[in-house]
Structure 1
Amino acid sequence: MLNRTDASGLPGTLAGRAGELAALGGHAEAARAGRSGLVVLSGPTGIGKTSLLRAFLDGDACRTMTVLHGRCGEVEAGAGYSGVRALFGGLGLTAEGAQDSPLLRGGAGRALPALMPCPADEEPPTAAAVYPVLHGLYWLAVNLVAQGPLVLVLDDVHWCDERSLRWIDFLLRRADHLPLLVVLAQRTEAEPAAPAALADITAGPRASVIRLTPLTGTDVAQMARQVFEAPIAPSFAERAAAVCGGNPLTIARLLSELRSKGARPDETAIRAIAEVGQYVVALSVRALFDRQPDWVREVATAVAVLGEEDAEHIGALARVPAARVEEAVALLRRVEVMAPDRMDLAHDVVRSAVLEAAGPRALAGLRATAAQLLSDIGRPAEEVASQLLLVDGTPEPWMRGVLREAAAQAEHRGAPEAAARYLHRVLEAEPQSVSVHVQLAKALGETNPVESIRLLDHALTLAPDVRTRAPIAVQLGMTSLTVQRSPAAVRVLGAVLDELDQEIGPEPEPRDAELRTLVESALLITGSDEKATIGTVRERFARMTEPVGDTPAQRQMLAMMTVLSAMEGRSPERTVRQARRALHTPGPALGNWSLLTSAFALSLADEVEDSLRALDRSLRHGQENAAVWSYVITLSTRALVLYGIGAIPDALADAQTAVEIIGEEQWSANVTMPQTSLALILIERGEPERAEELLAAVTRPNLDGFVLEYHYYLLARARARWALGDADTALRLLLDCGASLEETGFANPAFVPWWVEAACVLAAEKRPGQARDVVDHGTELARRWGTPRALGLAAVARGVTSPGEAGIDLLTEAVGHLAGSPARTEHARAELLLGGALLDAGLTRDARERLRTAADLAQGCGALALARDARRRLVSAGGRMREITASPIDLLTGTERKVAKLAARGAGNREIAESLFVTVRTVEMHLTSVYRKLSLTQRAELASVMSAPDIPDPQAPAWVHASRGRR
């Protein structure tokens, strides 16, 4: 029934809410049917949100659903994942032995740092470690959904911490077709603790807002009938509704107060209504305290400050014996100030009235005392700090220690916003502290990098010596990468490096030498990202000596030196030696950044097996740590390497998976490698229109300022335009690419070989003479680099722009070089060009042989556009060959192929989803498509279909696939 006493002990506050209750029931029904949803229940204080939620959860709508119900509190608003703990705390997942719970199986185990009252004492995670916790909580929700439809209800969400809200957003972005309903109750007049995060959720496509409106006179009359035995006069009900603003809680209190005064529900009570009115709660609380002993007020105030606590601790704060606490609680429950079912006040309106009655000075002292009490009884630092955040004024020394410890705990959880909130208070008291500036900057590195950089800049001015400034400069450099502020960071790192050289001298102690190497490597990393700084970095690099040791900083230094060595394009031997030293030296595991840079350099030197091994290590690290960003960039890089060696189906699978993953991430606009790599592969597959659509959607700001990403992007756009017949635009883009590369000093001919593409475009347009400077430039670079791929590309460029027999000889030379390189698709393209030149010379038989070879090679690579072109020219020359058609396996998209192969190996949908960072529903959709395309009826049939020798094994290292392809 609607007109019953609610959980807070306030009678009848559900009057007039039948429509809203029915709407909630409709959303629950949709969730049970597999249509996930979000309902935001909003309205002013006391409008009846909590009562409505309780009626909804206790009613038939949720009877067959798992319900998790939590409430956010003002005190906990600053603690990382406090909202999550309010939701999941009742599951007991942090108890001893609970780690074996089926709810924590698989990736859900990563949720524990968010759930633990006090996280484990270990090294704080990096910013990237936020993602493992988010993913862990997502899989925890999926495990719960596996047991049945799930309802997550969070009341007073305006006090929810930012990290919990970010997780709810993360969950909803992946909740397609999950039987899940999220209900958030928000007080409209309250300023949210995390307004941006809450706005992102409520603006989402799944959000449905139910705004609770004020009660009418008719609704008030219904409530009054539960309080008074006499008939309710319409004027009485209308006046009560008007004076109380239609607020159910205020009306309920008003009716109760009027009854206690002996008033009748008719015109005679109109004056009394006006006197008590909308201030009834505050007035009734004060009146209560005036009529009771002081210790009743002290207990109520202690409860208002501490929230749900046992009688002993409430008594300690109130300075009242435990027996008196129990007596006071019983009295407060009788007058509906305390909740009937928990050791807390009945409503936040009541809490506000109690705290207001205490006065601001007394309240500040009580909060400080409460924090001290909680600290003394061993509560987690974050719980103590939550009280301290509400205390005005400069924190005392002991408070700062608590706040620092709380910040460390928040970092362990992967909750940087909470850590920053605690450290801001410490900084108020210690504005000249270098360590606090640095700690706070680290916490803000992900969420507010601009402020993080400002803090680090100030820390540099406060640091007493260069040894202190050096690690700060390193942190500044790495943070600057996220906001494209490398030029300023490079200047800082260069100045610190010069000062450090003067301080430590030519023969430094080992510790100083390691510090210097760390600064040098940070300078290389920071300055190699943007065109504006690459010149400075190259000048520094020219004066650097290769480190001889194998410390972490030295290995990172070596990894970056490999990229700059490769960029010079002078010595593949030196590049390979440096990369192998960085990768294979015993010691701590190499970071993802170093793995990526080493792999990239090795691929340019044709050492693809070592390159792909390094990328596989990076992918495994990403999977094991749920490091989504680095996983996506590594997938994209591996797609480009595989594309370069003619393993196009494998490359397609990686690129499509990367694009699919970023579609679920908020930072997708800041990456371009997934879209660019997929576009290049689609062009090779004969789908330039799709490639252009992908490239048109790239929106990264200042893309033309990046060293690597911009040139891949230009090459992809040029190839798409050329494939669509727009030679002029293609040529302009290629020349722009060449000019930009010259500006950066990137002289490696194997990186974005624009000069070969430009030569081919000009030759096809019958303008070979215009290609002379371009061809000479590329040939000089290729001869200096000297790898088979580079020499083969140079011979192609010279061959297509040379007439007659000279061109045939050069193209024959190109085929020889490329046949000995890992570049199988380029080998097929050279065979095609040679076949065309032979055909033009009238050597039809020789031409047919080359064209047939080109078609076979291209089809084996998965380069369908090239294979079809070769077959077309072969047939026009009188040769015979079957149509180049896709096999059933070729009909699969790259992601479908990857999912199908994993399923064929026996992996479950959940396991596949976790390994590919997609949802179970996505895996199901891919498998449905696979069954349809391959005409399969059951999963067991996948094993035989997907076990063909030419189908790559997604669990085997990628270099194995590449090696098979070259044999």
Structure 2
Amino acid sequence: MNLVERDEQESELERIWSECGAGKGSVVLLEGSGGSGKTELLHQAAERARRGGGLVLHAGCSPAESALPFGVLGQLFSSVPAVEGPLARLQAPNSPLAAEAAPHDPARGAVAIGPQLALLLNEVTATLLELSAANPVFIGVDTVRHADAQSLACLLYLVRRTGAARVMAVLTDDTAAHRSPFRTELLDQPHTRRVPLAPLAEAEITALLARQLERDEAERLAGEFHTLSGGNLLLLRALLEDHLACGGVRKDGYGRAVLRQLGRLEEPVTAVARALAVLGSAEAPDRLARLAGVDDGAVETALRTLGSVGLVAGLTFRHDIVRQAVLDDLAPEDRTTLRLAAAALLHEQGCPPRAIAPLLIEADRPDGAWSVRVLSEAAEQELLAGRPQHAVAALEAALRAPVGSGAERAAIESRLIQVRRLFDPATAERHLTALTTAARAGELAPARTLDLVRQLLWQGRTAEAGELLDRLRTARPEAHSEAAALLEDTEKWLAWTHPTLARRTPRPTGQGRPAALLADALVNGRAHEAVGQAHQVLKDRGPSYDLSWPEEPALLALGVLLCTDSPDAAAWCDRLLREGHTPYSPTWMAMLSAMRSEAALRLGDLTGAADHAQQALNHIHPAAWGVAVGGPLGSLVLATTRMGHYDEAGAYLTHAVPKHMFDTRYGLHYLHARGQYHLLTGHPHAALADFLACGDRMRAWGIDVPGVVPWRTSAAEAWLALGNREQAARLSYDQLGRPGTNGARPRAAALRTLAVGGPVARRPQMLSEALDLYERCGDRYEQIRVLGDLATTYHELGDNRRARTHVRRARHLVGMCGAASLSEELFSFPDDAEEQPSPAGAGFGDGALLTGSERRVAALAVSGYTNREIAAKLFITPSTVEQHLTRVYRKLGVRCRKDLPVELATSVTEAVAGQGA
């Protein structure tokens, strides 16, 4: 088969062989880098000579036989009977001819031929010339630089005498081969020709690929293949095989070809290649030379050689598979030794820890205290760079080092847990037992012990966390010390999240870290006083890789905004989700998504709540959530229940949850959601049990404050479903009388349950106030329920016009929040076509009196948007919205937004689009 990619060289060899047949002898030096196709061209030329009737003499040289005198010469003439006698004398044991042809200068390979050897070679030459008279002779010597010195001397003797004979000699050698007396004298012969084999250009690579691929594909791949191979034929063929096999680059294909190339190189070159594979770059030649154990000049030569065979481009390997193949060719022990030597060398030269750490990690057994320091510093730098997985690898390697005290190792493992928690809290659990043992032995600092307490609580290991807390409390850290402040802050955090372990520690208002102050405000029902501080915490939030629980202040601040029905709670969640975290943390994103789900629930956005809760459980697996899973799982159950997806909600309730979850605030959210599921699916007794269980826990824990879960009004609804209006009223009045119940949501819920369970005549007033309160906090789901109650009430009072108006408004809101569980009741409400005429001014016909701006504001108001939301959508101020609504009320002859004709509720998209008109 012809080498299409070497057509020019093949034609040249064929032409020279033709001249040889005409009596013109030639010597061809076929030069090229390893893998350039020299050997294949030589074999094809020999086969062509054999088919043409020529006598073919062939020898292959190797470093292993370079010390065997006359070894190559013996290969060449072993098939020529006429020279058996002289050949036998040359290769005879203890032949004096070998000593006569001993090199005068072994370093240069120079050989002087003595009289006896000259006579013998003259005899061989005469025989060869006699044979060539009958048939042309083809002599092929592959990789001539590895031939023994005696054979090289004899070859020169023969070459000098074959210029006018029908003898063609083809010798292959590497382009980068060392210059030698043999090479110099060979090239000085007038009938010697050099035939170089340069690396293939991109056009030639295209032609090579087009033999097996479509032309378009060949042209598309040629550039990439040229980059990966440097035009080396051996590597190109391996790349093509890989592409045909899998469409990519394989370690078994391309990587094996790399090792074939490496095996052809001299030891100093392979030593430099291994050092380069460990260091990754040759930008510091002196460092490469020290690691390879060669001088600077040898490094330059080696890099040039590696470049010529297509392995190196510039200062690095052409592909990571090349680097990995070179490393894999080393024995594991040698690989580890080389990496540790490289790490020590970089440390000695003052390189940054991030450059040294990968070598120590790959070595798998860091050595010396310096390596632990380097790995710990590198971990912190990786965190700053937003790469927590790399930080984990560095810290794990530091733990494998056989040095350091118990306290030092405990500090490293503590930091490792903190970092692991950022992206997979479940993986942190494997370290908790060892770290707890270290804490019991006094090897863990108070700050790290408190962090361990949080980790144990996250995993539901309450007993161990309580034991460590008691140890810290008993130790009584010095007043005003950092340890004392951390312990007091932790107590306040515990009172909000894990109240069963909390020990109340009074502290003057205004002291402590922001997270502790926010938690204290939530526990004591003073969230409304901390709204400003919550906003400041969220505004000041920045990169916080050095905190053990970086998300806690922001989450508590969002908790304050949610508990106070702050209108921008959802917006803050969205902003933080967009901003992400430094370093990126799936745990942080999961917890933010859970908060966003709760915010959506409080706005009556059931579809959004379900989506965000599901995202929270997707960011980290439910099993990795620990006891905190009650937050997102409770939101998911509540959202799907209110959407009417009862089977889906029931399936979520079958998920296993940690039993210690019910000893935390997260368990309250789960219990309340489960109670709502039972209530809406017709199981009021089970619902009541869950709501009362929430109440029992909240009272016992001292967090019976508005904003956690509305257990009283939910239990009142369950009592109403059971027909016990007295118990429902008692709980509702109790809710109204609770300290801190001055927010819109708890008061609205209590008014609604009182109204539903009370006399019909008193309902409109209380329900109207509840509707106003729910509109203020923007909860569309609760607005629908109150509108439905108002519709029922007015129907019972005989005011069907108002009943139908409220039903229509409720139906419109159902579509906006996805409350399918309420739609059936609303759409089955009687809608008498013989409606009495509306009062003057209340009909939609008078809507023509409204200006475009007034119509847009009115449409959004009827759709249930708050004044602040209307202002944001229309890009006006809230006061402008109020002015527009006042004029709308006057023109239509109504008193408030709930009396606006529902027909005004055009689509929100239409209303907002009209803003640009």
CA deviations on 1:618-641 (whole Å, 9 max, x unpaired) are 542332235665456445545544
1:612: which partner in 2?
A: 567
Does residue 409 of the first structure (1) align with residue 388 of the second (2)? no
The whole-number CA distance in structure 1 between the counterparts of 2:457 and 2:654 is 18
2:489: which partner in 1?
A: 521
The whole-number CA distance in structure 2 between the counterparts of 1:828 and 1:298 is 78
Does residue 833 of the first structure (1) align with residue 805 of the second (2)? no
The whole-number CA distance in structure 1 between the counterparts of 2:214 and 2:469 is 62
CA 1:751–1:4: 2 relative to 1, 3 Å: farther
CA 1:474–1:394: 2 relative to 1, 3 Å: same
Alpha-carbon offset, residue 451 of structure 1? 3.3
Unmatched 5+ residue regions in structure 1?
16-50, 73-152, 157-181, 189-211, 213-246, 257-280, 290-294, 567-573, 895-900, 906-940, 951-967
- The alignment's C-alpha RMSD in Å is 5.7
Does residue 727 of the first structure (1) align with residue 682 of the second (2)? yes
1:544: which partner in 2?
A: 506
Aligned AA for 2:373? Answer: G
CA deviations on 1:160-213 (whole Å, 9 max, x unpaired) are xxxxxxxxxxxxxxxxxxxxxx9876769xxxxxxxxxxxxxxxxxxxxxxx9x
> Structure 2 matches for 1:337-348, cutoff 5 A?
none
**Alpha-carbon contact 1:576-1:601 (below 8 Å) kept:** yes
Residue in structure 2 matching 1:442, options 409, 418, 423: 418
**Alpha-carbon contact 2:793-2:803 (below 8 Å) kept:** no
Does residue 560 of the first structure (1) align with residue 522 of the second (2)? no
Moved more, 347-356 or 390-399: 347-356
Does residue 474 of the first structure (1) align with residue 450 of the second (2)? yes
**Alpha-carbon contact 1:11-1:252 (below 8 Å) kept:** no
**Alpha-carbon contact 1:596-1:618 (below 8 Å) kept:** no
Residue in structure 2 matching 1:369, options 341, 361, 373: 341
1:809: which partner in 2?
A: 762
Alpha-carbon offset, residue 688 of structure 1? 0.6
The whole-number CA distance in structure 2 between the counterparts of 1:70 and 1:592 is 49
Alpha-carbon offset, residue 432 of structure 1? 2.0
CA deviations on 1:97-138 (whole Å, 9 max, x unpaired) are xxxxxxxxxxxxxxxxxxxxxxxxxxxxxxxxxxxxxxxxxx
Aligned AA for 1:836? Answer: T
Alpha-carbon offset, residue 449 of structure 1? 1.2
Name the SS for the 1:355 alignment partner.
coil
1:484: which partner in 2?
A: 460
Name the SS for the 1:727 alignment partner.
coil
1:534: which partner in 2?
A: 499
Aligned AA for 1:620? Answer: R
**Alpha-carbon contact 1:563-1:598 (below 8 Å) kept:** no
Residue in structure 1 matching 2:553, options 594, 602, 605: 594
Structure with greater Cα Rg: 2
Aligned AA for 1:418? Answer: H
Does residue 624 of the first structure (1) align with residue 603 of the second (2)? no
The whole-number CA distance in structure 1 between the counterparts of 2:213 and 2:874 is 42
Name the SS for the 2:524 alignment partner.
helix
Alpha-carbon offset, residue 653 of structure 1? 6.8
**Alpha-carbon contact 2:706-2:746 (below 8 Å) kept:** yes
Alpha-carbon offset, residue 389 of structure 1? 3.8
**Alpha-carbon contact 1:525-1:560 (below 8 Å) kept:** yes
Residue in structure 2 matching 1:457, options 408, 414, 436: 436
CA 1:456–1:595: 2 relative to 1, 3 Å: same
Does residue 693 of the first structure (1) align with residue 612 of the second (2)? no
Moved more, 449-458 or 675-684: 675-684
1:658: which partner in 2?
A: 612
Aligned AA for 2:523? Answer: L
> Structure 2 matches for 1:907-926, cutoff 5 A?
none
Residue in structure 2 matching 1:355, options 293, 316, 330: 330
Alpha-carbon offset, residue 340 of structure 1? 8.7
Name the SS for the 1:875 alignment partner.
coil
The whole-number CA distance in structure 2 between the counterparts of 1:735 and 1:2 is 88
Alpha-carbon offset, residue 830 of structure 1? 4.2
Residue in structure 2 matching 1:433, options 407, 429, 438: 407
Alpha-carbon offset, residue 472 of structure 1? 0.7
The whole-number CA distance in structure 2 between the counterparts of 1:3 and 1:831 is 86
Name the SS for the 1:433 alignment partner.
helix
> Structure 2 matches for 1:840-919, cutoff 5 A?
840=796, 843-845=797-799, 849=802, 852-853=805-806, 855-856=808-809, 859=812, 862=816, 866=822, 869=825, 872-873=828-829, 875=831, 879=835
What fraction of aligned residue pairs are identical, expressed as a percent? 18
The whole-number CA distance in structure 2 between the counterparts of 1:577 and 1:849 is 39
The whole-number CA distance in structure 1 between the counterparts of 2:303 and 2:537 is 67
Q: What's the TM-score, normalizing by structure 1?
A: 0.52
The whole-number CA distance in structure 1 between the counterparts of 2:269 and 2:608 is 67
Aligned AA for 2:686? Answer: R
CA deviations on 1:803-832 (whole Å, 9 max, x unpaired) are xx4x64367445445535636654663454
CA 1:392–1:578: 2 relative to 1, 3 Å: closer
The whole-number CA distance in structure 2 between the counterparts of 1:2 and 1:773 is 99
The whole-number CA distance in structure 1 between the counterparts of 2:676 and 2:224 is 53
Does residue 576 of the first structure (1) align with residue 542 of the second (2)? no
The whole-number CA distance in structure 2 between the counterparts of 1:302 and 1:791 is 74
The whole-number CA distance in structure 1 between the counterparts of 2:770 and 2:764 is 10
Alpha-carbon offset, residue 430 of structure 1? 0.8
CA deviations on 1:396-447 (whole Å, 9 max, x unpaired) are 2333333233222222233333333333443431142334343333333344
Alpha-carbon offset, residue 557 of structure 1? 0.9
2:299: which partner in 1?
A: 325
**Alpha-carbon contact 2:607-2:639 (below 8 Å) kept:** no
Alpha-carbon offset, residue 559 of structure 1? 0.8
Residue in structure 1 matching 2:749, options 766, 790, 793: 793
Alpha-carbon offset, residue 708 of structure 1? 4.8
Name the SS for the 2:507 alignment partner.
coil
The whole-number CA distance in structure 1 between the counterparts of 2:770 and 2:729 is 17
The whole-number CA distance in structure 2 between the counterparts of 1:71 and 1:401 is 39
**Alpha-carbon contact 2:379-2:394 (below 8 Å) kept:** yes
Structure number with the bigger relative contact order (C-alpha 8 A, sep ≥ 6) is: 1
The whole-number CA distance in structure 2 between the counterparts of 1:430 and 1:70 is 50
**Alpha-carbon contact 1:715-1:734 (below 8 Å) kept:** no
Aligned AA for 2:529? Answer: R
> Structure 2 matches for 1:128-527, cutoff 5 A?
249=256, 298-299=271-272, 302-303=275-276, 305-306=278-279, 308-309=281-282, 311-327=285-301, 351=326, 355-356=330-331, 360=333, 366-391=338-363, 395-427=367-399, 428=401, 429-434=403-408, 435-446=411-422, 447=424, 448-454=427-433, 456-461=435-440, 463=442, 469-480=445-456, 482-499=458-475, 502-504=476-478, 508-509=479-480, 512=481, 515-526=483-494
**Alpha-carbon contact 1:315-1:321 (below 8 Å) kept:** yes
Residues matched between the structures, number: 615
Name the SS for the 2:294 alignment partner.
coil
CA 1:720–1:789: 2 relative to 1, 3 Å: same
**Alpha-carbon contact 1:835-1:850 (below 8 Å) kept:** yes
Aligned AA for 1:737? Answer: F
Alpha-carbon offset, residue 380 of structure 1? 3.7
Alpha-carbon offset, residue 642 of structure 1? 5.5
CA 1:944–1:877: 2 relative to 1, 3 Å: closer
The whole-number CA distance in structure 2 between the counterparts of 1:946 and 1:8 is 72
**Alpha-carbon contact 1:603-1:641 (below 8 Å) kept:** yes
